[in-house]
Structure 1
Amino acid sequence: MKKLAHEEILEQLQERIRSGEWKPGERLPTMQELASQYKLSLTAVREALRLLESRRIVSIEHGRGIFACNDPGLLEDPVAPIRGMETRSLLELLEARLAIEPELAAYCAKRSSGAQVRSIRELADLMEDQIGRGEDHFATDVQFHQEIAEGADNPLLAQMLSVVADLSAQGRRETDKLPHMRDKAVSYHRLIAIAIQERDAEQARALMKAHIQDMINTIQSRG
């Protein structure tokens, strides 16, 4: 299966950091420089760096730059064996998300900052606008779920979700093609964002569970 652009640059940047090309605390090239270097869009570079930051391999400091992680121990990837496995089935990956994401949504409703809540609402609105205009909304979809993970303030759970998100990137594009899935996703995202804004952890958990279970049910019904 062909890798997405952000997956390719993610793996290459990760390897360059692990090999010692950029020492802990050393500044990486800017996003624009990396995009030019790899001949990729800024969107792909931004997504790759966001995932690296969620794994604490880089630190993105606004106004200062992108830095290699200061703790060399964090460069050891505890889930590397999982990444090396054969492509998992879409149902397996959705089941993994079902086990993780409802709790992340509940924790996010309890722990997220006001700025994080606003970002989650804005991402829900942006995805709705992108779908309405027929634009690619994949990165926004991924970022919505990742923002919730970060708002949950549990780095280990966020890293677990990052692994599953990496493995299921292509599968998410496939589920997006299923009947009415885009409209359902927009509705679920809006309702989840509202539940988080209202600090309703039980509702956020229930809606995220329903969102992912609905995808599982749709796939299973198609045989």
Structure 2
Amino acid sequence: MARKGRSLAENVADDILAMITIDKKFIMGDKLPNENELSANLQVSRTTLREAIRILVAHNVLQIQRGKGTYVKSNQELNGEFGLKELTTFQLDVKDLYEMRLIFEPQSAYYGAKRATDKELERILYYGKLEEELILKKEDRTEVEQAFHKSIAKATHNEFMNRLMPILYQAIDKGVLLSDANEEMVQNTLNDHRMIMEFLSKRDAEGARTAMKLHIIHAMRGFGITEE
């Protein structure tokens, strides 16, 4: 399902941006695959791909080097700083960070359920299931958990929400590090993520918002953080 009011090229541009910022398939300075390969991968025509690339060039994400190809531009905004760089240097404690998550992420899940394209929803479920596999194998899941929550934020199509995510990563990273030693918290994460994915897959916005709120509240209680 494409987001209403957006052209196919705009949705393809979003898919390519997600490959850069979430999937990390391409990093700054990387050359994109040739036109035939990338259009086949995205299942769109070369004409649509060219228009998507023009959109990303206009937004300072890609650059075309004549005779060489299309490259990911060295653009610090792709890191999501958006004028909030100072906040990421603060020594915020876990309570502050989780309160911030409680304010923003349930609503992010709500709009993600309503606005996600089919590919965005597929990406969310992919990372959710991958994280479940890593938890069960007792392997590091920090980057995958980031990708799961970032995929939901991207599906809101709210630019400020996306740019806020680097700050919330601090809470996500600390949460993974501190919760891994607590079996009850790990089990809560498994159950909560399954519930979030179930509501998202059904595009049940209210259910997704409630599930995300419960997920963060469970984590806060696990850390002994009270809601005051």
Q: Tell me if both proteins adopt one fold, taking TM over 0.5 as the criterion.
A: yes
| Deviation by residue 1:75-129 (Cα, 9 ceiling, x = unmatched) | 97421331232x1110110010000000000000000000111111111111111
Indicate the residue corresponding to 1:154 in structure 2: 158
Structure of greater Rg: 2
Residue 68 (str. 1) matches residue 74 (str. 2): yes
- Judge conservation of contact 2:110–2:208 (CA < 8 Å) in 1: yes
Amino acid at match of 1:121: L
CA distance in 2, matches of 1:189, 1:76: 27
Change (3 A) 1:160 1:117: same
After superposition, residues 85-104 of structure 1 pair within 5 angstroms as 85=90, 87-104=91-108
SS at match of 2:72: strand
Are 1:170 and 2:174 an aligned pair?
yes
Name the aligned partner's letter for residue 30 of structure 2. Answer: T
Normalising by the residue count of structure 1, what TM-score does the alignment of the two structures yield?
A: 0.65
- State which of 170, 184, 199 in structure 1 corresponds to 2:188: 184
Confirm or deny: 8 A CA contact 2:106 2:209 kept in the other structure: yes
* Counterpart Cα distance in 1 of 2:80 and 2:162: 16
Partner of 2:132: 128
Displacement over 6 Å in runs of 4+: none
Distance in 2, matches of 1:98 and 1:76, equals: 21
Considering only aligned residues, what root-mean-square deviation do their CA atoms show, in Å? 3.3
- 1:220 counterpart SS class: coil
Query: How many residues are matched?
Result: 169
Q: TM-score, normalised by structure 2?
A: 0.64
Q: 1:175 to 1:157 in 2, by over 3 A?
A: same
Q: Do residues 83 (structure 1) and 69 (structure 2) align?
A: no
Describe the SS at the equivalent of 1:144.
helix
**Could you say which residue in structure 2 is the equivalent of 1:30?**
30
Instruction: Tell me, yes or no, if the aligned pair for 2:124 and 2:148 is still in contact at 8 Å.
Output: yes
- Give, as a single letter, the amino acid of the residue that structure 1 aligns with 2:215: H
CA distance in 1 between partners of 2:93 and 2:126 (Å): 31
